[in-house]
Amino acid sequence: MKLLIVADLGKLRALRVQYHKNRSPSVEALEEFSFEDAHQRVVEKVSDLAGRHKGPSPHPGAAPVADDHNLRLETRRRIVKQIAKQTAQLVRAHNPEGFWFAAPKDICNQILEELPQEIRAKAAATAPRDLTKLPPRELVEIFDPEAFKRFAPRGAP
């Protein structure tokens, strides 16, 4: 049994891939998580709308409209940690032989670095691509291209 986990900054999908003797693997959706922080706008997170508060300055427009708190970077960092935490919980709960993991290129390594060492060691393969919208069969074919070809009926393409 393998666990296949695909994530982006908005959601995480987990699938179980079970290999059976003399037939193609079965793919079962286990869980799907949506990260609320990724779907909120900045105005929903902060108490002051831009333009209502300006810094003190004798010249209009000379001061910044608001302090730069790197809110987007902080939100991204939190979501990366949440993805790593959910991935670790899924791997511990289902205890697969190994797991496949895919996330967009800009966050894939960050998520893997956040995983505990014993979980990271179980990663059989990783794909730095956003695959969250692909159907389950295509996901399995990315990590195991021969999975469904081995048991195709004779004469089938």
- CATH number, domain of 79, equals 3.30.420.60
Give domain status of residue 150, yes or no: no
Q: What is the pLDDT along the chain (157 residues), one digit of tens a residue?
A: 899 999 999 899 999 999 888 778 899 999 999 987 665 666 555 655 554 455 555 665 555 555 546 777 888 999 999 999 999 999 999 999 999 999 999 999 999 999 999 999 999 999 999 999 999 999 999 998 887 776 555 554 5
The verdict on residue 136 lying in a domain is yes
Domain assignment of residue 155, yes or no: no
Total count of domains within the chain: 1
Position 74 in a domain: yes
Residue 26 belongs to some domain of the structure: yes
Angle subtended by helix axes 71-94 and 105-114, to nearest 10 = 60
Assess if residue 77 is contained within a domain.
yes
Pairing state between β 2-7 and 11-20: antiparallel
Measured CA to CA in angstroms, residue 46 lies from 32, 40, 72 at distances of 28, 11, 12
156 located within any domain: no
**In terms of residue numbers, what domain contains 105?**
2-43+68-143
Helix (H, G, I), strand (E, B) or coil at 92: helix
The token pair at 29 is: 């959706």
In this structure, is residue 157 part of a structural domain? no
